[in-house]
Structure 1
Amino acid sequence: MRRILFALVLLISGSVLAQTTVSGTVVDQNNEPVPGANVVVVGVAEGAVADFDGNFTLTSTLNPPFQIKVSSVGFDEATVQITKNNQVVNVTINESSTLLDEIVISASRTPERLFESPVSVERFGLREIKNTTAESFYGGLQNLKGVDINTNSLTFQSVNTRGFATFANNRFLQLVDGMDNTAPGLNFVLGNLVGMSELDVQSVEILPGASSALYGAGAFNGILFMRSKNPFDFQGISAYAKTGITSQEAAGDNQYYDVGIRAAHAFSDKVAVKANFSFLQGEDWHANNYTDLNNPGADRSNPGYDGLNVYGDEVSTTLNFDELAGLPSGTVGSAFVTRTGYEERDLANYNAQSVKSDFALHYRPWGNDFEIILNSRIGRGTTIYQGANRYSVAGFKMQQHKIELKNDNFFLRGYIVSENSGDAYDTRFAAININRRWKRDAPNPNNPNEPSWFGDYAGTYIRTFLGLVQGQGLSREDASVQAHAAARAAADTGRLIPGTPEFQNAFNSVVTDGDLTTGAKFIDNTKFRHVNGNYNLAHLINDWADIQVGGSFREYELSSNGTIFTDYDGPITYNEFGAYAQLQKKFADDRLKLTLSGRYDKNEFFDGFLSPRAGISATLGENRNHNIRASIQQGFRNPTTQDLFIGLNAGRAILVGSAPDNLDRDVRTFSVSDRGQEDFGQPATVEVVGRAAYENSYTASSAQAFALSRDVSDLQVANPDIIKPEEITAVELGYRTQLGKFTIDLSGYYNSYKNFIANVNTVVPFYGEAGDGGLSAIALANEDFQVYQAYTNSDVNINSWGATAGVDTKIFGNFDLGVNYTYADLDFDKASNPDFRTNFNTPKHKVKASFGNTELFKNFGFGINYRWSDSFFWEASFADGDVPAYTVLDAQINYTVPSIKSIFKVGGSNILGEEYYTAFGSGNIGSIFFVSWTINP
């Protein structure tokens, strides 16, 4: 940290002392304050934001005369002439239907009108937060066009744009006041679980698509920017309280509550502080899909039953009853059998919780726009995370600590992000190891008299089957059904039953054990350190153009004690850096705007990568109410920490990252079958290193074909390449216009991917060499193999494209109506690449609509949101399956009491109660009904 502070001191730029101060109030046509209105100086990147009472103070480096523009979503823009220092102005802006004059920052790292942005931008500000129909501002983002939210948990929602969505969404970046909100070890954002308090949100901007040219490797598929309220501009004490119920068929009706408080005060024009605290708690969505993954449509009488939300039944084997009993082949036969598992409700912590706190000190040493910010954010949460397995993330903690120096022309920040997994555990391994603590899976060769589950099953099945067929004359089919039922009952005798002290003792022991061969606990204290800066040179060149330069440096420190990464011998560190430049220039009476950007990034494991972007927008029409935009850019995505260094047995497969240093770090010991030992002279155990997944493996699909045919020619060698960065070329066209009361925004994109990062399952034989046509095939026939999940790149073409169309207007005088449509599609030949997983996970068609009135009558408003999503196929490491189409209706009414600066709201999400899910394997999403009281929002 001292190195970061030293670098900050060295890089501090001299600030230009402000020359002019302007203050005032922004009101609407009814003389009501307009909180959150943007006030900007025309021609330069200087501005301020109105507080709850519409008051603002702005400082500028310009000498009068100059102009300021005042705007807010849903209001016409107003321009005011400033003629002297310390001028006080009262500005009235009239409500209108335009949404395009709002100022955004994300698209170009500088303030600009949404209308003139070179790329698509979606914005969610103070007015939208007030009127959202969702239970939280974060949930309200799902009503924006082109935006998907996959609900993993009550407290964990994952935002995505333009396809390739998973809960571990490492293609989408989320920034909170410029800090990357990605959990360092998990490599993805946990929604707003440990993010920002609703009271402190000034604005949210979503930038769909690749933005690597300005934001680097993480900005591959989109960025979500959250900006907090500055304590100089937003002072006082704010608070909210929400309560209600969550309603789900599986979980019933349960209390839900969410409270928060914000305090901010400027002690002078130099020092201001703020603090936030929020607490949310409710019952999580229960997952109870018991579909048999091995035989969809079958019930639990299937001896090989493997339920979707049942864990522990992944432990399986093929029992050759004739061989075990020494009988002639065909006497009894064989069967694929799984152990009896536990349902998720017996294993998971459904007490969803989120606790967020932050503190910030803002110091303006000269009382102007130069500001030093010290900010700390600490979050703690309990949630369910669906990755390779379903994880109960209990007491997860994440901290962010930042020092930032900035003025209107530059920023320089250094921060650290660290996570602590708390009491997180894997529900699948909890079930597996609870079973094993009671009774081992297979017979103990050193103690044949020790009970084993599969041994007990086989012995009972053989005796029962022979008795029913030979003694009672039953058909083999009927005898088999009864014998399997008897065998499972015998093998399960004495099994630990949920709710009993014996089960609870075993459960407590397993979830506190960090060795996944005997326990289920995850240990993760990973962190990263980041320094980045940006300087806008426009004021140095008399605003001839807007030229920005910047750069960043990041160092990762992986620390999981060998439970996630292969860091069993100590933390693993590596780093990456980048630098960029951008030029924006207006021509032809400011009707044409050209944007050129370029960035160079280097990760220590890979060659450097250049990300260029070019964009142009043209403002047309006599009233300048039409804008056409086009852009093309290249982007990239570095492999994540897990892509590189994971070493995790996930039950169905062993996950092994492909960093050069990692291939030999993952070493595991496996038992060889009796047949392999006796007939083929193999040792009792073998050691397999992770490298074998990449250098001595078959494709999973060909191994499955071989298991059925026993034809060696069906086997195909896999041996995937080790991973390298993924690349994208993205083209976007768009059109925005204001036609009377109608605001229209259209966009279309085409993305072409190279070296697409994804996972492939490979099968490693315990003996022989893949492709030898002999011994390795025998190993597979003897079930002497292990399935691995390898991290690699596709050598086939993967393309995606899509479009969005949105129309907003006013009808019946003062009623707001908005409708938008999103289309997304993928071009990938799955039939020719059955082992490659793109995880596109996106509906082809989505329709959203909103209707409401913020002033139906004085101080009373309402809103309704409708969403329809097409069915789609969900593909992920946990499970693959169909997600049916669904329709959701949310609604709210609100009443404002200006005398006590309060807003009262009654609302509900999914008020029709039609349960749905956005990912295969997650819990059904029910309804949330709530009432809230917000003071001084």
Structure 2
Amino acid sequence: MQSPVTVEKLNARALRLAPAPSFFDALAQVKGVQVLTPSLGFKVLNARSFANTTNVRFAQLVDGIDNQAPHIGGPIGNVLGPSDLDIRSVEIVPGTAAALYGLNAINGLANFSTRNPFASPGLSVRQQMGINHVNDTNTGARPYAETSLRYARLLGPQWAFKVNGTYLRGYDWMATDSTDLNPNGNASTGLLGADNPARDPVSSYGNESSDRSTLTLGGKNYQVARTGYQERDVVDYHLQTLKYDAALHYKPNARTELAYTYRGATFDNVYQRSNRFHLADYRLQQHALQMTTPVVQARAYFTQENTGKSYNLRSAAENLERSFKPDKQWNADYTAAWNAALGQGQTVAAAHAAARNAADAGRFEPGTPAFKQRLKALADINNWDEGAALRVRANLLHAEVQANVGAALRGGSRGGGLPAWADVLVGADHRTYFVQPDGNYFINPNPGRDQFSTLAYGKTGGFVQAGARLLPGEKLRLTVTLRADKNRYFDLRFNPRLTAVYSPTARHNFRLSYQSGYRFPSLFEGFSNVNSGQVKRIGGLRVMSDGVFENSYLRSSIDAFNAAVTQGVNTGGLSRSQAVAANQSLLVRNPYTYIRPEFVRSWEMGYKAALLPGGRLLADVDFYANTYRDFIAQVEAYVPLAAAAGPPLAPDAPLNTVATALNARATQARYRLWTNSRSRVYNYGGSLGLRYDVPGGLLASASTTYARLARTESADGLEAGFNTPRWSYNLSLGHENVYQHLGFGLNYRWQTSYFSETFLVSGTVPAYGMLDAQLSYHLPTPRLRFKIGASNVSNRYYISYLGGPSIGGLYYAQVTYGL
């Protein structure tokens, strides 16, 4: 009630009432929380805008321990998190939380608290069976199952342990978006829609920009793309997750507890960054030590990540095409067949179709033994110019300590020490990432080091917080926090936080806060070194990209330049050299530079009240305003070469020489660089939540959330994307025992359409709404709970972001013992 910032909490009762197959799915029903769904087994949490499918701006903790995959920089859903049998409560802090947590949590964090074995011993088992893909013409209905077990036991008054295990299997949601990303590739020749030989459907790979060639046919220039494969051709949508954990707790005295926890997970699902990936035999494990006392909390943990047999779907499709026939040969066959077809009197569009059929003769056909064998081989080649493997091994080591100095130095009535109305909290932490370079995804760029030697990347930080409770009855609470963090590659950064809470009565609480936050680049953003579809993606730190920023030109300007050259040749009667000279002024030098930390400045005000007799009506309203700068984003820029595979042109080379080089694929080096947007972005929003605990056990709640991109200064198109609906709301109703142990839960959520901007695809995500429902029956003896339910009852398929899968209904039945 008196938190100085917005906090959303789900307790055990709320989790039982939630009409969702898991507690993690139920988080979509929390006020202010946005969920993106790249996969049935991989959901991404976000709050307060600027969401993406690898949300490194939102931290996810389990008992205070970060459960991210180190090289990704964010969590993979809940694969390293607790099971539904072990979850005790969930707290979500939307908005900047970096001043205290320092975990790049500039959009917020979620902390999952688990059940302590001292307080919750015994055996619990849950079996869930379900079905999805109902009325899906692509695959037909598919089964879904999840089995969970928890066992906890006391070993005397000082020792206790618990073990958990969960095994999930199902069939993933499918990405089938056929929208053409290059609809105007041949507009100057009148070839549009299905006749466009450079079509690039969203959920088809191997026909992207790096898979297109400009062919001169019949005196005109045509963009022609390789045929490509649908996503469902190059991925096995069967998914599974096996996760497990064990914890040993020790209480040397009544006020101190020590715990060691081990967590592990092996899983298969689909993941999306700039491309879509099949995560196969992916493994995460974590060791953690914690100490808790009234004065000191300390923890240290070590996380290991192994990407197993995962692979890049785009690279797999591209190299399936090229391993059947190289681009040069395919283009030659296409050209010969086009000329032959046109000579036989066929139309231009028909000649293109005939040319593709001829050039594709002998191509690997999806589903055939030869296709499967070649895909398997490519998925094990760790070079995306030749194969598709994702082979990363990364570790994370973290240690932190926090001390309540106020509790330690409290003088009380005896005098001396800290007065009772004051609090002081201090903390410090250190984190280091370790990557074993694989030569494709990561190398060690440090001078004097072998490129395959271990790469380390870390930071150290700490904070001090002072608080005071003032006015009669301690009605006013003030806190001041200052945090400092230092990363090897960046100067010392400071994050201040100022908060005030005024409580005229225990039932009415007004809050106001100001804070700032930094986010250091993740491992991938800083150090990536990926040959990806003839475009090299490199990290934004100078040690990785020295010289590239200064010598490159924006791909967006190169595309416009080459389109104008094609237009001049096809409709203007110009020769190629004349068209190059006439349009070279369209080329724009890359204005971006080496990566810096992101920064946000945030104001928040709110009001929380417990109304009606007994405080049965809880109201919570908040409003925030943020200013962001230095968004970490990607820019594609090409370096002109003096000759094919030759050195870069000199920075002062004549523009005509540069333009000639950038008009030919062979004389340009293509890069995708991590950098910072030059825009300063302002956004604001707020939310209102009401929860009414009706006498008799009925729980009703309603919430609405508003998010608005106020303005963007110096817009350069590289923002990470607002990617947030302006309006969303949730309506919930539930009762645990409405009649003779029979309970139910209902939730309806809806959101407006919004513009989605990602590196993969940009456009409008349609509005959608859905009803989730569950019916439960509880037997106190022998502690059995039966539950049937459905997510998206109407089975009306929707997408949560562009490029992602279509999500339908999931219908399930559960039986739980012992909880």
TM-score, normalisation: structure 2: 0.91
> What residue number does 2:145 align with?
257
User: 3-state SS of the aligned residue for 2:239?
Assistant: strand
> Which runs of structure 2 are paired with 1:401-412 in the superposition (5 Å)?
401-412=287-298
Once the two structures are TM-superposed, the CA of residue 753 in structure 1 deviates from its matched residue by: 1.5
Quote the residue 2:364 is aligned against: 496
Contact 2:199 2:207 in 1 (8 A): yes
User: For the Cα contact (< 8 Å) 2:385–2:534, is it kept in 1?
Assistant: no
Is 1:620 equivalent to 2:514 in the alignment?
no
Check if 1:722 corresponds to 2:597: no
Match of 1:291 in 2: 179
Change (3 A) 1:814 1:239: closer
Aligned residue number for residue 190 of structure 1: 76
Q: Which residue of 2 aligns with 1:244?
A: 130
**Contact (CA 8 Å) 2:437, 2:452: kept in 1 or not?**
no
Counterpart of 1:922 in structure 2 is 804
**What is the CA–CA distance in structure 2 between the aligned matches of 1:256 and 1:499, rounded to whole Å?**
24
Q: Give me the whole-angstrom Cα distance separating, in 1, the residues matched to 2:395 and 2:192.
A: 45
Q: Is the 8 A contact 1:523 1:560 kept in 2?
A: no
Distance 1:708 1:433, change over 3 A: closer
Give the structure 2 partner of residue 138 of structure 1.
Answer: 24
Query: Which of 33, 50, 71 is residue 164 of structure 1 equivalent to?
Result: 50
How large is the RMSD of aligned CA atoms in angstroms?
1.8
1:408 positional shift: 2.3
- C-alpha separation in 2, matches of 1:574 and 1:287: 35
1:606 aligns with 2:606: no
2:170–2:238 CA contact under 8 A, matched in 1: yes
Q: Considering only CA atoms, is the larger Rg found in Structure 1 or Structure 2?
A: 1
- Taking the TM superposition and a 5 Å limit, the aligned residue runs for 1:210-289 are 210-248=96-134, 249=136, 250-289=138-177
Q: Aligned letter for 1:147?
A: V
Equivalent residue, structure 1, for 2:86: 200
Q: Which residue of 2 aligns with 1:518?
A: 386
State the Cα distance separating 1:618 from its structure 2 match: 0.7
Give the residue type in structure 1 aligned to 2:617.
F
Q: Residue 785 in 1 paired to residue 668 in 2?
A: yes
Show the counterpart of 1:765. 640
Shift of 1:825: 1.5
- The corresponding residue for 1:350 is 237
Rate the CA distance shift 1:736–1:497 in 2: closer, same or farther, 3 A: same
Q: Does structure 1 conserve the Cα–Cα contact (< 8 Å) formed by 2:734 and 2:744?
A: yes
Aligned to 2:333: 456
Q: How does 1:618-767 map to 2 (within 5 A)?
A: 618-621=502-505, 624-651=506-533, 653-663=535-545, 691-692=547-548, 694-709=549-564, 710=580, 711-740=583-612, 741-767=616-642
Matched, 1:507 2:375: yes
> In the aligned structure 2, how far is the partner of 1:612 from the partner of 1:922?
38
Deviation, 1:595, is 1.5
List per-residue Cα deviations over 1:187-232 (Å, max 9, x = no partner).
Answer: 1111112321111111110001111111114221101101111111
Counterparts of 1:534 and 1:814 in 2: how far apart (Å)?
39
| Equivalent pair of 2:682/2:712 in contact (CA under 8 Å) | no
Letter of the aligned partner of 2:199 in structure 1? Y
Give the percent of matched residue pairs that are identical in Structure 1 and Structure 2. 34
> Residue 686 of structure 2 corresponds to which residue in structure 1?
803
Q: Does 1:365 align with 2:252?
A: yes
When residues 244 and 761 of structure 1 are mapped into structure 2, their CA distance, relative to the original with a 3 A threshold, is same
Instruction: Give the stretch that moved more between structures: 518-527 or 795-804.
Output: 795-804
CA separation of 1:814 and 1:271: change in aligned 2, threshold 3 A: closer
Q: Deviations over 1:305-355 (max 9, x none)?
A: 111111112253444435xxxxxxxx4422110111111111112112111
- Displacement, 1:704? 2.3
Which residues of structure 2 form unaligned runs of 5+?
185-190, 413-419, 445-450, 565-579, 643-648
Q: Which residue among 694, 706, 713 is the counterpart of 1:823?
A: 706
Map of 1:338-487 to 2, 5 A cutoff?
338-366=225-253, 368-442=254-328, 452-468=329-345, 479-487=347-355
2:440–2:531 contact (8 Å) kept in structure 1? no
SS in 2 for 1:751: strand
Deviation at 1:247, TM superposition (A): 2.3
- Rounded to whole Å, the distance in 1 between the matches of 2:664 and 2:534 is 18
Please, which of 779, 792, 796 is the counterpart of residue 910 of structure 1?
792
Aligned length: 766
Q: Distance in 1 between matches of 2:219 and 2:677?
A: 45
Residues of 2 paired with 1:615 and 1:805: CA distance? 20
Deviation at 1:834, TM superposition (A): 4.5
For 1:570 and 1:302, the matched residues in 2 are separated by 47
Is 754-763 or 215-224 further displaced after alignment? 754-763
Q: Which residue identity does 2:641 align to in structure 1?
A: F
Contact 1:251/1:285 (<8 A) preserved = no
8 Å contact kept, 1:522–1:560: no
Q: Residues 769 and 776 of structure 1 are in contact (CA less than 8 Å); yes or no, is this contact kept in structure 2?
A: no
Q: Look up the match of 1:934.
A: 816
Cross-structure match for 1:565: 442
CA distance 1:905–1:639, change in 2 (3 Å): same
Matched, 1:316 2:193: no
Between the aligned partners of 1:560 and 1:504, the Cα distance in structure 2 is: 29
Structure 2 distance, partners of 1:773, 1:563, is 33
Alignment-mate amino acid for residue 795 of structure 2: G
Aligned residue for 2:542, secondary structure, equals: coil
Offset at residue 300 of structure 1 (A):
4.1
| Secondary structure, counterpart of 1:210 in structure 2 | coil
Cα distance in 1 between the residues matched to 2:731 and 2:501: 28
Secondary structure at the counterpart of residue 723 of structure 1: coil
Q: Are the counterparts in 1 of residues 679 and 716 from structure 2 also a CA contact under 8 Å?
A: no
User: Which position in structure 2 is the counterpart of 1:447?
Assistant: none
Distance in 1 of aligned mates of 2:750 and 2:311? 35
- Residue 471 (structure 1) aligns with: none
Q: What is the CA–CA distance in structure 1 between the aligned matches of 2:211 and 2:44, rounded to whole Å?
A: 33
Q: Within 1, Cα distance between the matches of 2:738 and 2:212?
A: 66
Distance 2:366 2:399 in 1: 49
Conservation of the 8 A alpha-carbon contact between 1:699 and 1:835: no
Q: Compute the displacement of 1:858 (Å).
A: 2.9
8 Å Cα contact 1:332/1:466 also seen in 2: no
Partner SS for 1:128 = helix
Mean Cα displacement is larger for which, 338-347 or 734-743? 734-743
- The AA in structure 1 aligned to 2:489 is F
> Are residues 1:865 and 2:753 paired?
no
The alpha-carbon deviation at position 773 of structure 1 amounts to 2.0
- SS of structure 2 residue aligned to 1:199: coil
Q: CA deviation at 1:812?
A: 8.8
* Aligned-partner SS, 1:377: strand
Could you tell me how far 1:574 is from its partner in structure 2?
A: 2.3
Letter in 1 for 2:620: D
1:365 match: secondary structure: strand
What's the offset of the Cα at 1:781? 2.1
Rounded Cα–Cα distance in structure 2 between residues aligned with 1:363 and 1:530? 22
SS in 2 for 1:788: strand
* Deviation at residue 150 of structure 1 after TM alignment: 0.5
TM-score normalised by the chain length of structure 1: 0.80
Hey, what does 2:733 align to over in structure 1?
Answer: 851
Counterpart code for 1:273: F
Deviations 1:45-96 (A, max 9, x none): xxxxxxxxxxxxxxxxxxxxxxxxxxxxxxxxxxxxxxxxxxxxxxxxxxxx
User: Does the 8 Å contact 2:677/2:716 carry over to 1?
Assistant: no
Equivalent residue of 1:233, what SS?
coil
Unaligned runs of 5+ in 1: 1-114, 323-330, 443-451, 469-477, 665-690
User: In structure 2, the residue corresponding to 1:166 is in which secondary structure?
Assistant: coil
1:233-258, Cα deviation, whole Å (9 max, x unpaired): 11001111110101252332111111
